[in-house]
Structure 1
Amino acid sequence: MNARYLTKASLIAGIYLLLVLIQIPMGNIAFGPIQLRIAEGLTLLPLVESAAIPGLFIGCLAANFLLASYSSFGLVDILGGSLVTLVAAYLTNKMPNKILGALPPILLNGLIVSIWVSYFTNVPYWFTVLGISLGEMVSIAIFGTLMLTVYNKSIKHVGNDKNC
């Protein structure tokens, strides 16, 4: 790993954490059986940036740790949710396009995170799967597409800047 890779991973982690933190005034929509995390839009970045894999993991880990009092799911969510994000980011990195790249975070978060969210909230598992998966889809479709577009444009701009 070089300094550029570590810098990108750190920036992605910081952006993920920041995006979760700005949702605090909106209530508890980043945790629970119906989730909408704006930060999950970043889950498309592994398609174009391998540093997003550790960046998303660390960002999710930090967000889940710092905001554990909002979720009441404890260590299982801090570690489990972060590991799901890591695996989803790795699988997204292997996908050939944006449509297939969206599937790992949607399916893994929907099917796996719902296990403990359903258990701790006493909300039926399949309702929780639906709530988390739909929130993931919305975040990826709206924020993910926007973030991927901005990232690609910034890379093209930096690549064309002879002073960098």
Structure 2
Amino acid sequence: MKKTKTRTIVRCALIASLYTAVSLVLAPIAFGAVQARVSEAFTLLPVLVPDAVVGVTLGCFLTNLVGVFTGANVLGALDIVFGTAATLTAALCTRRLARVRLRGLPVAAAVPPVLINAVVVGAELAWAFGPRTFAGFLLQAGGVALGQLFSCFALGLPLVRIIEKTPALRAWFRD
């Protein structure tokens, strides 16, 4: 029992730290009016294990928090609250869609991070950078959706495939 709790904590911490490290290393494209957060590929990890929801959410929170304090995250506290809530919501939805597969890939599970972040972060960006119109929101949401599509479909789905096909990684993600 204790081994399982320790493994869960370590797994959550590792996912959170990887998410944060990748985001901060790539800060110029992870924050701002135009963004592609490569670390969002990790939002597909809840497909493999439920505690990845916590790891990804904590990673997003830490990324947004450090981003605010370093000046990289110009959305400020707004992004700490709403951006993190969007990631949590997307991770929970991703987990629920884990068993829906297309040719062995959890394609449906990659959709919530794209849509939810497009709406929430798109609204944040439209509010912060404008124009504060519906067209402005659509423009910002579209930009976020493109970045999310790349992160989740081009990076996240192959990441899940690699983990599922590699015995040592698969064992590490087993409950």
TM-score of the aligned structures, taking structure 2 as reference length: 0.83
Decide which of 105, 126, 151 is 2:113's aligned counterpart: 105
Tell me the number of residue pairs that the alignment of Structure 1 and Structure 2 aligns. 156
Decide which of 140, 144, 147 is 1:132's aligned counterpart: 144
Query: Is 1:152 equivalent to 2:160 in the alignment?
Result: no
Query: Is 1:11 equivalent to 2:14 in the alignment?
Result: yes
Show the 5 A alignment for 1:54-93. Answer: 54-68=54-68, 69-93=71-95
Tell me how large the CA RMSD over aligned residues is.
Answer: 1.7
* Counterparts of 1:22 and 1:135, CA distance in 2: 17
The sequence identity of aligned pairs, in percent, is 28
Q: CA offsets, 1:83-113, max 9 Å, x none?
A: 1101110110000232110111000000112
Gaps of 5+ in 2: none
* Counterparts of 2:52 and 2:33, CA distance in 1: 26
Q: CA offsets, 1:27-57, max 9 Å, x none?
A: 2x21233221110011111111111100001
Gaps of 5+ in 1: none
Q: Say which structure, 1 or 2, has more relative contact order (CA 8 Å, 6+ apart).
A: 1
